[in-house]
């Protein structure tokens, strides 16, 4: 079993093996477990009281207490207040119960089958796949979503199954190792989200309602969602109970499970298919509900549910309680702000910190075995300087072509000198800013990969760009018309705070790459939840944020371009100073200190430089582009082995990538336009999928 597999929880039903020398320690651990379980039970009881109290307050805001029983049992059709209570307030609560219970059941199955405490529909990309399928159907086959959504479930199920097939296909050869599954789920989620954002940009008025619904809205107008979810939960629960013995045996490793007569592959696929269908049922009914499937099984175990049968009962109850409490807590806030706050997005605001807490409690793990470096042996005929010169020439040529060659009223053509003087004033700032952003992202990605020893590290994957975006969102919420200096400060602060959080959580595992990846995934999910809340509220802030998130260079001015170019030159000039540190720090603290390196100061300096690079680039091309991931790998493929060589080659490659992405987005769909960051994501995510598949097949 690889080091990654030690992320999995130990078999819960195996008898404890206490040594004779440590009976007191064993008793202390047992007593601590009982105490923790009691505290969780008390917390769940308080949550139940809070949910009931909030429900009563929300009901009182709709109808006076004297009308409650009549409104709930036999409403007067002439009283609009009673109709709202009976056909909106009450089915909303019941829907929250059913959706939360269904997600709790699905999360329990996922975590048990995959032996991964972080598995749930959202982190596995299944919810994103279902939502994308529904978005596509709403645009090109709206009739399939008619009749009170009766046809939504097959569409959502198709998207969920497609996403699950990609995720599990990428991770299958690695034995469904938790980190590989988590990274594959992250990539599928980001890619599906990028496609959804592109569609949102093109069809904003038509898809805004779908976007709000996709954020996990529990608003009800009748009992149709209850009628859709209740039988699916009942059937899913019955099937899960029939699979009880195989699910118990999944706690063992594959060899022991097979020795006990378990048809491992067939039953694993059956259990995963059941969990995917349960997840699709929720997405098709109420949209994407984040992290309930993660939190409910964890709370059930902390409350003392050790056996699988106990978890199959208690986890759905915990899921129902969590979503009920979250939805009731959101309603007064939404009423106060006069905006709609999707309960699904709000649940992620609570779930992402819980995921970080679970990561902090995980045992120490070793290096990332499932995903190794992709460096190849290439010919040394050309020196690094010659390769840099060649890449620089290609980049300069591409910049010229991007300025001159494009689509016009007469099709593809080169601009004449007279025409070029008119279009260059619009195109040149965009290309300069795009190139500068690509350079900075490539340098940030190289620094992170070298510092963590993780070939999948990048500002986008580790959540650094998401942290920068959170800083930007906070600034827009406070002052939408803030200047460039304030925006750079806000994004830099968010990026640096994210890096500190990542390394603080990773410190317990000695900066193990898989821990860093998983913390980044949690922070990225928190960022997505905040974005969903802000955009669902609509207004000027939502439009500004959506345009910026997509990574558009459309609004770049000559002043912006010069600022981006100046930042990239200054920060790139600092990058060569890190060569010695990048060569020494991966050796470990002891070796670094022996060589005279003050490791806390060195880590702080590298983190600060990475945060500034990520923040400055994120301001231009948004938080998602994957250039920080791909450019260092292309530099390795070009022969760069030493840190300075990789920095030297990755910088122009990153700039070239964003320039090409900006040119493609500007010309392919003329007169419409795709933002550069979005185009880079649409191509970068498949690249990462290929990388994962390649590493899994070589493992």
> In the chain, where are the structural domains located?
44-357, 398-698
> pTM here?
0.72
Ranked by mean pLDDT, the top range of 9-18, 141-150, 419-428 is 419-428
Pair of tokens at residue 356: 């970080």
Q: Residue 28's pLDDT is what? A: 40
Question: Is pLDDT at 320 greater than 90 in this prediction?
Answer: yes
Question: Is pLDDT at 18 greater than 70 in this prediction?
Answer: no
- Residues 257-294: pLDDT tens digits? 777 777 777 888 899 999 999 998 898 888 888 778 88
Q: Residue 108's pLDDT is what? A: 94
- Which of the four pLDDT bands, split at 50, 70 and 90, describes residue 699? low
Domains 44-357 and 398-698 share a fold: yes
Q: Residue 334's pLDDT is what? A: 61
**C-alpha distances in Å from residue 419, one per residue of 399, 405, 660:** 17, 11, 21
Q: Residue 314's pLDDT is what? A: 94
| Residue 685 burial (CB count, 10 A) | 24
Three-class DSSP category at 535:
helix
Q: Residue 24's pLDDT is what? A: 34
Question: Is pLDDT at 531 greater than 80 in this prediction?
Answer: no
411 DSSP β-pair partners? 408
Instruction: Indicate the average pLDDT of the chain.
Output: 76
Give the mean pLDDT of 664-680. 77
Pair of tokens at residue 22: 């440590």
Q: Residue 367's pLDDT is what? A: 40
Question: Is pLDDT at 224 greater than 70 in this prediction?
Answer: yes
As a whole number of angstroms, the distance between CA 321 and CA 302 comes to: 15
Question: Is pLDDT at 2 greater than 70 in this prediction?
Answer: no
Percent of residues, the chain, with pLDDT higher than 70: 73
- Residues 472-501: pLDDT tens digits? 777 877 766 666 677 778 877 887 787 777
Among 38-42, 104-108, 346-350, 682-686, which stretch is predicted with the lowest mean pLDDT?
346-350
| Residue 567 burial (CB count, 10 A) | 22
Give the mean pLDDT of 365-372. 38
Q: Which comes out higher in pLDDT, residue 543 or 688? A: 688
Q: Which residue has the tokens 């990309």?
A: 125
Question: Is pLDDT at 357 greater than 90 in this prediction?
Answer: no
Q: Residue 190's pLDDT is what? A: 76
- Which of the four pLDDT bands, split at 50, 70 and 90, describes residue 559? confident
* Neighbouring residues of 100: CB distance < 8 A, sequence distance ≥ 6: 289, 292, 296, 316, 319, 320, 321, 322, 323, 324
Q: What is the widest separation between alpha-carbon atoms in the chain?
A: 90
Q: Residue 381's pLDDT is what? A: 39
Q: Which residue has the tokens 């199920």?
A: 157
Q: Residue 52's pLDDT is what? A: 92
Q: Which comes out higher in pLDDT, residue 690 or 157? A: 157
Give the mean pLDDT of 452-479. 75
Q: Residue 92's pLDDT is what? A: 92
* Neighbouring residues of 314: CB distance < 8 A, sequence distance ≥ 6: 300, 303, 305
Q: Which CATH superfamily is domain 44-357 in?
A: ABC transporter involved in vitamin B12 uptake, BtuC (1.10.3470.10)
Question: Is pLDDT at 376 greater than 50 in this prediction?
Answer: no
* Neighbouring residues of 308: CB distance < 8 A, sequence distance ≥ 6: 12, 13, 112, 244, 247, 248, 251
Pair of tokens at residue 538: 């609509």
Among the listed residues 175, 82, 193, the one whose alpha carbon sits nearest the alpha carbon of residue 129:
193
Q: Residue 324's pLDDT is what? A: 92
Among 150-154, 366-370, 478-482, 601-605, which stretch is predicted with the lowest mean pLDDT?
366-370
Q: Which comes out higher in pLDDT, residue 686 or 161? A: 161
Give the mean pLDDT of 323-339. 71
- Which of the four pLDDT bands, split at 50, 70 and 90, describes residue 698? low
Q: Residue 380's pLDDT is what? A: 45
Give the mean pLDDT of 167-187. 77
Pair of tokens at residue 281: 């049922």
- How far is residue 14 CA from its own chain's centroid? 34
Q: Residue 7's pLDDT is what? A: 35
* Neighbouring residues of 636: CB distance < 8 A, sequence distance ≥ 6: 373, 374, 375, 376, 646
Q: Residue 238's pLDDT is what? A: 95
**What backbone phi and psi angles, to 5 degrees, belong to 425?**
-65, -25
Q: Which comes out higher in pLDDT, residue 129 or 520? A: 129
| CATH architecture of the domain with range 398-698 | Orthogonal Bundle (1.10)
Question: Is pLDDT at 689 greater than 60 in this prediction?
Answer: yes
Among 17-31, 444-458, 580-594, which stretch is predicted with the lowest mean pLDDT?
17-31
* Neighbouring residues of 676: CB distance < 8 A, sequence distance ≥ 6: 434, 551, 552, 553, 621, 625, 658, 661, 662, 665
As a whole number of angstroms, the distance between CA 631 and CA 202 comes to: 29
Three-class DSSP category at 553:
coil
Question: Is pLDDT at 639 greater than 90 in this prediction?
Answer: no
- Residues 576-588: pLDDT tens digits? 888 888 888 777 7
Question: Is pLDDT at 565 greater than 80 in this prediction?
Answer: yes
Give the mean pLDDT of 562-581. 88
Among the listed residues 297, 295, 314, the one whose alpha carbon sits nearest the alpha carbon of residue 352:
295
Give the mean pLDDT of 513-540. 65
- Cis omega (within 30 of 0) for bond into 436: no
Question: Is pLDDT at 547 greater than 70 in this prediction?
Answer: no
- Which of the four pLDDT bands, split at 50, 70 and 90, describes residue 335? low
Ranked by mean pLDDT, the top range of 108-117, 198-207, 610-619 is 108-117
Among 334-338, 387-391, 466-470, 635-639, which stretch is predicted with the lowest mean pLDDT?
334-338
**What backbone phi and psi angles, to 5 degrees, belong to 626?**
70, 5
């Amino acid at each position: 079993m690889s080091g990654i597999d030690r992320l999995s929880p130990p078999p819960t039903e195996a008898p404890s093996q206490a040594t004779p020398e440590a009976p007191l320690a064993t008793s202390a651990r047992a007593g601590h477990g009982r105490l923790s379980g009691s505290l969780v039970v008390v917390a769940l009881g308080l949550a139940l009281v809070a949910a009931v109290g909030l429900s009563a307050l929300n009901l009182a805001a709709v109808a006076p207490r004297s009308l409650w029983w009549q409104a709930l049992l036999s409403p007067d059709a002439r009283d609009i207040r009673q109709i709202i209570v009976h056909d909106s307030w009450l089915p909303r609560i019941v829907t929250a119960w059913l959706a939360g219970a269904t997600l709790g059941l699905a999360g329990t199955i996922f975590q048990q089958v995959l032996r991964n405490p972080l598995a749930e529909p959202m982190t596995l990309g299944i919810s994103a796949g279902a939502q994308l399928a529904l978005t596509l159907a709403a645009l090109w086959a709206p009739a399939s979503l008619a009749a009170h959504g009766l046809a939504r479930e097959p569409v959502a199920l198709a998207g969920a199954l497609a996403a699950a097939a990609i995720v599990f296909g990428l991770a299958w050869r690695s034995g469904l190792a938790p980190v590989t599954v988590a990274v594959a789920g992250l990539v599928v989620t980001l890619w599906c989200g990028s496609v959804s954002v592109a569609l949102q940009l093109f069809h904003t008025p038509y898809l805004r309602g779908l976007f709000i619904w996709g954020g996990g809205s529990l608003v009800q107008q009748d009992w149709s969602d209850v009628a859709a979810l209740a039988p699916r939960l009942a059937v899913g629960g019955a099937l899960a109970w029939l699979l009880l013995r195989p699910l118990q045996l999944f706690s063992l490793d594959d060899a022991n499970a097979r020795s006990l007569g378990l048809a491992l592959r067939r039953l694993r696929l059956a259990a995963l298919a059941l969990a995917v269908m349960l997840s699709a049922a929720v997405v098709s009914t109420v949209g994407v509900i984040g992290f309930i499937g993660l939190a409910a099984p964890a709370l059930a175990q902390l409350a003392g549910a050790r056996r699988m049968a106990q978890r199959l009962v208690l986890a759905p109850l915990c899921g129902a309680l969590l979503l009920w409490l979250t939805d009731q807590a959101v309603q007064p806030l939404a009423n106060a702000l006069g905006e709609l706050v999707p309960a699904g997005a709000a649940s992620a605001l609570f779930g992402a910190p819980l995921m970080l807490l679970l990561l902090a409690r995980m045992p120490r793990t070793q290096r990332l075995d499932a995903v190794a470096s992709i460096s190849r042996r290439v010919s040394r005929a050309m020196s690094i300087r010659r390769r840099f010169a060649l890449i620089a020439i290609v980049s300069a040529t591409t910049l010229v072509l991007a300025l001159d060659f494009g689509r016009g009223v007469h099709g593809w053509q080169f601009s004449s000198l007279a025409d070029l003087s008119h279009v260059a004033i619009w195109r040149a700032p965009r290309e300069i800013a795009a190139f500068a952003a690509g350079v900075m992202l490539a340098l940030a990605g190289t620094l992170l990969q070298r510092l963590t020893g993780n070939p999948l590290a990048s500002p986008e994957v580790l959540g650094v760009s998401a942290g920068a975006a959170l800083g930007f969102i906070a600034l827009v919420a406070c002052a939408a018309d803030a200047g460039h200096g304030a925006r750079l400060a806000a994004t830099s602060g968010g990026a640096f705070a994210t890096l500190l959080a990542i390394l603080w959580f990773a410190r317990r595992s000695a900066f193990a790459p898989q821990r860093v990846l998983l913390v980044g995934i949690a922070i990225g999910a928190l960022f997505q939840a905040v974005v969903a809340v802000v955009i669902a509220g609509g207004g000027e802030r939502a439009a500004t944020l959506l345009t910026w998130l997509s990574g558009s260079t459309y609004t770049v001015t000559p002043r912006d371009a010069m600022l981006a170019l100046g930042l990239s030159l200054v920060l790139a000039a600092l990058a060569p100073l890190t060569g010695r540190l990048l060569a020494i720090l991966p050796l470990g603290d002891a070796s670094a200190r022996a060589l005279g390196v003050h490791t806390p100061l060195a880590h702080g300096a590298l983190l600060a430089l990475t945060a500034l690079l990520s923040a400055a680039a994120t301001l231009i091309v948004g938080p998602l582009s994957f250039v920080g991931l791909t450019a260092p790998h292309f530099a390795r493929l070009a022969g760069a082995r030493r840190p300075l060589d990789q920095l030297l080659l990755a910088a122009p490659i990153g700039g070239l990538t964003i320039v090409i992405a900006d040119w493609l987005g500007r010309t392919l769909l003329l007169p419409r336009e795709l933002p550069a960051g979005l185009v880079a994501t649409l191509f970068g995510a498949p690249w990462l999928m290929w990388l994962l598949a390649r590493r899994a097949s070589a493992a």
